[in-house]
C-alpha cells in the first residue's frame, strides 16, 4: 500500500513518536525488534504505527503481516487502533488471537498435508462438549470427586509440548488424563481450543515446507502482549523468525505477566529480547498515568523500574477505602459515593471512563447487581457475562455499531466487516463468491440500519439471513456458534440482555456511556480515568498461603489493576472474606499494607 493511502491520522500519530527516542528507534528498526516497556508506555501504539509503516514501505500486497495478541479483547483493541489510522483486517493483514492464527493460517490451509492425527474439515468442540468429555474421562480414571483440576491439566498440556520428555511424565496422572481426554475427543472427530495451538506448533516445528509458505504470505509477524502468549506461540515465533525468514516485531512487559496459571511464561519474552539478532528497545516514559500513580504502582510491585510520567504535573487520587460491610458494602460504596464524585470531578468525564475491577465473576455478580440497582448501564467482561467475546460475537457487535449509526462516519469500516466475514470461511473464498457474499452482506447491513430498535431483532435477522448458514457449513466455528447461541438467548425474552437496544449492543465494547465491570485479568491493555478495585482482602487477592511464584503473580495482577488508571485509583477492602466455612477475618490484602507503608516512607501518601 503506498504511503499516501495511509491516513492523515497515521501521519499525525507517527509524528508523536519523534519526541520519544525509544519509540522512534522501534519505529525505525529494520530487523527483528522486541520492545520491552512498562504500562502506558505506548507499546501498542508503537506496534500499530510500525505495522502501518511496514505495510506502507516494506511489504507489497498480496503479501502482508500477521498481528497476534492474547485475547479477543486485545485483538479488537488492535483492530480499532489500526482502523483509526486507516488499516483494516484484510486478506493480507491478520489481526487476532494465537488460536485464530493457528486455525486460519496454519491448520486450515496446510493441516491436511501434514500427518496430524485429526480429521478434516476440522470440527472444533464447544466449551460444553470439552468440559463434559474432560469430566467423564477424569471420573472414569480417578473416580468421581477426584482431586485433579481441569486448570492443572490445561497448564500441563500447554506448557509441556514434548510428550516424550520426563517433564511430561513427571505429572503422571495429568498426563494420563490428557491422553485419555484427547483420545475421546478424536473418537468424536473433534479438536479443542488448545489443540489448535498445539497442532499449529507441531506443523511449524516438524514440517520445513510450511515455513516458506507462511513467509510468502506473512513476511512480517507482530506480537502484542508477548509475555502472556505461552510456550507454543514462543516456539512458533522463534521458528518462523529465526529459521523461516519472517521479520518479528514484538512488544510486552514481564511485570504484566499474569497468565502463569495457564502455562504462560513471561521469561520467554526476556530471553527473546536478549538474542544477538534481535534489536531490544526499552521505553521509560508513561503517557497514561499521573506520576503519583506510577510511583505507587512500582511500590506495589516492589521493584523500582524508573518509569517517568510524560506530564509530571497531573494530579492523582490514590485512596485506600475501608468498608466494614463486605463485598456488598464495597460495591454499594463504589456505586453510590465514588462514581458520582468521580463524574463530578472532571468536566466531560463519562461512565465509560470509569472501571470497577475485581478478581472473579462471583464478585462481578455483586458489583453488577449494585450497578443495575442504581440504574447504571454497564458492560461486563468476566466468566458470568451472558456470552463470551469470540471473533464472531465481536463481529456481530461491530455490525450492530455500524447499523446503529456508525455507517455515517465509517466507524467501524464496512470494508473491515466484510473482510472479517470472509475470514470466517474455512477455505479461501473464490473471488466471484467473495464479491457475491460481500454484496449480500452489504445489502443486509444496509437494510438493518436503524437509530432505534431492539438488539434481539437485529441479531435474529443477521442469523436468519446469513449467519446461521455459515455456522452450519463451518464445523470449525463450533465453539463460536455456542457463543452466538448464548448471545441470542441473553437477548430473548427473560434473558439478561432482553431490553438491550441496537446501539447498546454495538457499544458493548468501549462505549462512553457504559460503566466498565471487568476482572483484573480482562482489564489488561485497557485504560480508564478512574479505577476502582474491590475485594482487596486476604483470602481473595491474594489467597492465603500462596506459593511464592503464585504470590508474585497475584502481586503483578494487583499492579496491572493499578496501572490501568490515568487519574484516580480507589482500593476497597473489608478486612474479611466470606467463605463456605463462614466469615474469615484474615485482614485486608497485604499488598495494601505494604503499599501504604512504602508511600508514607516516601512521603507520597
Ligand atoms: N509518543 C506518544 N505521545 C503521546 N501519547 C502517547 C505516545 N505513545 C503512547 N501514547 C498514549 O499513551 C497511552 C498508552 O499507550 P498504549 O496503550 O500504547 O501503551 P501500552 O504500553 O501498550 O500500555 P499497557 O502495557 O498498559 O497496555 C495511550 O493513550 C497512547 O495514545
- pLDDT tens, position by position, 162-210: 999 999 999 999 999 999 999 999 999 999 989 999 999 999 999 999 9
C-alpha cell at 176: 494420563
- State the pLDDT at residue 475: 82
C-alpha cell at 378: 454497564
| Interval between CA 77 and ligand 1 midpoint (Å) | 13
Helices 478-491 and 127-142 cross at an angle (nearest 10°) of: 110
Predicted confidence (pLDDT) at residue 283 exceeds the cutoff of 60: yes
Question: Among the atoms of ligand 1, which is closest to the Cα of residue 23?
Answer: 1
- pLDDT tens, position by position, 417-427: 998 898 888 66
- Please list the residues that pair with 35 across neighbouring strands: 251, 281
Do 124 and 196 touch, CB atoms closer than 8 A?
Answer: yes
- State the pLDDT at residue 6: 56
Ligand 1 binding pocket includes 54 (Cβ within 6 Å): no
Nearest 5°: phi and psi at 90? -150, 180
- State the pLDDT at residue 491: 95
- State the pLDDT at residue 1: 46
Predicted confidence (pLDDT) at residue 3 exceeds the cutoff of 60: no
Question: Among the atoms of ligand 1, which is closest to the Cα of residue 283?
Answer: 21
Cα–Cα distance measured from residue 359 to residue 50, given in angstroms and rounded to the nearest whole number: 34
Whether this model's ipTM surpasses 0.85 comes out as yes
Q: What is the DSSP code (8-state) at residue 335?
A: I
Nearest residue CA, atom 5 of ligand 1? 287
Ligand 1 binding pocket includes 483 (Cβ within 6 Å): no
- State the pLDDT at residue 478: 83
**Edge-first strand listing for the sheet containing 378-381:** 317-322, 565-573, 528-533, 354-358, 515-519, 378-381
Predicted confidence (pLDDT) at residue 345 exceeds the cutoff of 90: yes
Binned at pLDDT 50, 70 and 90, residue 390 comes out as confident
Q: What is the C-alpha end-to-end distance of the chain, expressed in Å?
A: 52
Ligand 1 binding pocket includes 142 (Cβ within 6 Å): no
C-alpha cell at 161: 509440548
Do 465 and 444 touch, CB atoms closer than 8 A?
Answer: yes
Ligand 1 binding pocket includes 201 (Cβ within 6 Å): no
Ligand 1 binding pocket includes 20 (Cβ within 6 Å): yes
Q: What is the mean pLDDT of residues 237-254?
A: 97
Ligand 1 binding pocket includes 263 (Cβ within 6 Å): no
| Interval between CA 46 and ligand 1 midpoint (Å) | 8
Ligand 1 binding pocket includes 353 (Cβ within 6 Å): no
User: Percentage of the chain surpassing pLDDT 70?
Assistant: 97
User: Which pairing describes strands 515-519 and 354-358: parallel, antiparallel, or unpaired?
Assistant: parallel
Predicted confidence (pLDDT) at residue 578 exceeds the cutoff of 70: yes
- The residue among 218, 227, 224 whose CA lies nearest residue 247 is 218
| Interval between CA 254 and ligand 1 midpoint (Å) | 17
> 138 a known binding residue?
no
- pLDDT tens, position by position, 502-549: 988 886 555 677 899 999 998 988 899 999 999 999 999 999 999 999
Q: What is the mean pLDDT of residues 574-585?
A: 95
| Interval between CA 68 and ligand 1 midpoint (Å) | 18
Predicted confidence (pLDDT) at residue 385 exceeds the cutoff of 90: no
Ligand 1 binding pocket includes 42 (Cβ within 6 Å): yes
- The residue among 442, 443, 455, 444 whose CA lies nearest residue 487 is 455
Q: What is the mean pLDDT of residues 63-89?
A: 85
Ligand 1 binding pocket includes 37 (Cβ within 6 Å): yes
Do 66 and 218 touch, CB atoms closer than 8 A?
Answer: yes
- State the pLDDT at residue 510: 59
Question: Among the atoms of ligand 1, which is closest to the Cα of residue 224?
Answer: 22
Helices 43-57 and 8-16 cross at an angle (nearest 10°) of: 130
Do 393 and 487 touch, CB atoms closer than 8 A?
Answer: yes
* Residue 342 vs residue 452, higher pLDDT: 342
> 40 a known binding residue?
yes
- pLDDT tens, position by position, 108-121: 899 999 988 888 88
Cα–Cα distance measured from residue 179 to residue 323, given in angstroms and rounded to the nearest whole number: 48
Site to substitute for ligand 1 among 25, 37, 42, most atoms within 8 A of C-beta: 42
Question: Among the atoms of ligand 1, which is closest to the Cα of residue 41?
Answer: 21
Q: Which of 287-291, 496-500, 567-571 has the lowest mean pLDDT?
A: 496-500
Provide Rg for the chain, Cα atoms: 24
Q: What is the mean pLDDT of residues 349-370?
A: 95
Nearest 5°: phi and psi at 474? -120, 90
> 38 a known binding residue?
yes
Amino acid at each position: 500500500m503506498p504511503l499516501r493511502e495511509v491516513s492523515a491520522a497515521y501521519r499525525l500519530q507517527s509524528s508523536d513518536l519523534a519526541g520519544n527516542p525509544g519509540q522512534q528507534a522501534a519505529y525505525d528498526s529494520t530487523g527483528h525488534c522486541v520492545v520491552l516497556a512498562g504500562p502506558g508506555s505506548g507499546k501498542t501504539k508503537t506496534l500499530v504505527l510500525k505495522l502501518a509503516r511496514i505495510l506502507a514501505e516494506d511489504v507489497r500486497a498480496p503479501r502482508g503481516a500477521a498481528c497476534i495478541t492474547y485475547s479477543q479483547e486485545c485483538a479488537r483493541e488492535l483492530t480499532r487502533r489500526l482502523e483509526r489510522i486507516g488499516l483494516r483486517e484484510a486478506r493480507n493483514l491478520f489481526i487476532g488471537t494465537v488460536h485464530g492464527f493457528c486455525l486460519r493460517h496454519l491448520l486450515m490451509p496446510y493441516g491436511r498435508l501434514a500427518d496430524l492425527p485429526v480429521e478434516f474439515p476440522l470440527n472444533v468442540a464447544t466449551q460444553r462438549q470439552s468440559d463434559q468429555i474432560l469430566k467423564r474421562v477424569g471420573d472414569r480414571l480417578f473416580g468421581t470427586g477426584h482431586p485433579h483440576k481441569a486448570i492443572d491439566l490445561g497448564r500441563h498440556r500447554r506448557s509441556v509440548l514434548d510428550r516424550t520428555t520426563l517433564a511430561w511424565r513427571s505429572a503422571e496422572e495429568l498426563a494420563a488424563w490428557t491422553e485419555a481426554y484427547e483420545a475421546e475427543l478424536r473418537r468424536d472427530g473433534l479438536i479443542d481450543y488448545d489443540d489448535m495451538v498445539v497442532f499449529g506448533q507441531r506443523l511449524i516445528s516438524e514440517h520445513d515446507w510450511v515455513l516458506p509458505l507462511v513467509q510468502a504470505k506473512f513476511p512480517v509477524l507482530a506480537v502484542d502482549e508477548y509475555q502472556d502468549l505461552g510456550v507454543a506461540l514462543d516456539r512458533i515465533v522463534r521458528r518462523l523468525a529465526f529459521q523461516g525468514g519472517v521479520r518479528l516485531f514484538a512488544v510486552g512487559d514481564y511485570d504484566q505477566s499474569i497468565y502463569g496459571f495457564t502455562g504462560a511464561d513471561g521469561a520467554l519474552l526476556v530471553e527473546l529480547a536478549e538474542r544477538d539478532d534481535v534489536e531490544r528497545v526499552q521505553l521509560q516514559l508513561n503517557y497514561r498515568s499521573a506520576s503519583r500513580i506510577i510511583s505507587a504502582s512500582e511500590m506495589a510491585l516492589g521493584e523500582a523500574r524508573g518509569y517517568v510520567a510524560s506530564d509530571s504535573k497531573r494530579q492523582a487520587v490514590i485512596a485506600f477505602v475501608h468498608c466494614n460491610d463486605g463485598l456488598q458494602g464495597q460495591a454499594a460504596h463504589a456505586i453510590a459515593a465514588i462514581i458520582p464524585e468521580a463524574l463530578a470531578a472532571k468536566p466531560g468525564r463519562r461512565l465509560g471512563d470509569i472501571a470497577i475491577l475485581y478478581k472473579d465473576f462471583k464478585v462481578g455478580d455483586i458489583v453488577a447487581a449494585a450497578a443495575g440497582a442504581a440504574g447504571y448501564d454497564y458492560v461486563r467482561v468476566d466468566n458470568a457475562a451472558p456470552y463470551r467475546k469470540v471473533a464472531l460475537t465481536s463481529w456481530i457487535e461491530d455490525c450492530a455499531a455500524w447499523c446503529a449509526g456508525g455507517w455515517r462516519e465509517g466507524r467501524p469500516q464496512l470494508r473491515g466487516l466484510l473482510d472479517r466475514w470472509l475470514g470466517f470461511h474455512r477455505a479461501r473464498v473464490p473471488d466471484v463468491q467473495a464479491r457475491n457474499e460481500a454484496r449480500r452482506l452489504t445489502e443486509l447491513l444496509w437494510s438493518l440500519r436503524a437509530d432505534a430498535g431492539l438488539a434481539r431483532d437485529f441479531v435474529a435477522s443477521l442469523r436468519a439471513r446469513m449467519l446461521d448458514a455459515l455456522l452450519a457449513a463451518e464445523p470449525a466455528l463450533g465453539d463460536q456458534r455456542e457463543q452466538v447461541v448464548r448471545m441470542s438467548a441473553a437477548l430473548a425474552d427473560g434473558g439478561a440482555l432482553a431490553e438491550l437496544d441496537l446501539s447498546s449492543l454495538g457499544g458493548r465494547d468501549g462505549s462512553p456511556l457504559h460503566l466498565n465491570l471487568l476482572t483484573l485479568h480482562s482489564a489488561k491493555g485497557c485504560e480508564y480515568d478512574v479505577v476502582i478495585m474491590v475485594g482487596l482482602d486476604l483470602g481473595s487477592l491474594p489467597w492465603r498461603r500462596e506459593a511464592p511464584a503464585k504470590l508474585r503473580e497475584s502481586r503483578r495482577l494487583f499492579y496491572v489493576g493499578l496501572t490501568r488508571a490515568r487519574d484516580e485509583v480507589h482500593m476497597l477492602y473489608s478486612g474479611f472474606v466470606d467463605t463456605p466455612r463462614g466469615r474469615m477475618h484474615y485482614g485486608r490484602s497485604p499488598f495494601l499494607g505494604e503499599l501504604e507503608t512504602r508511600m508514607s516512607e516516601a512521603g507520597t501518601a
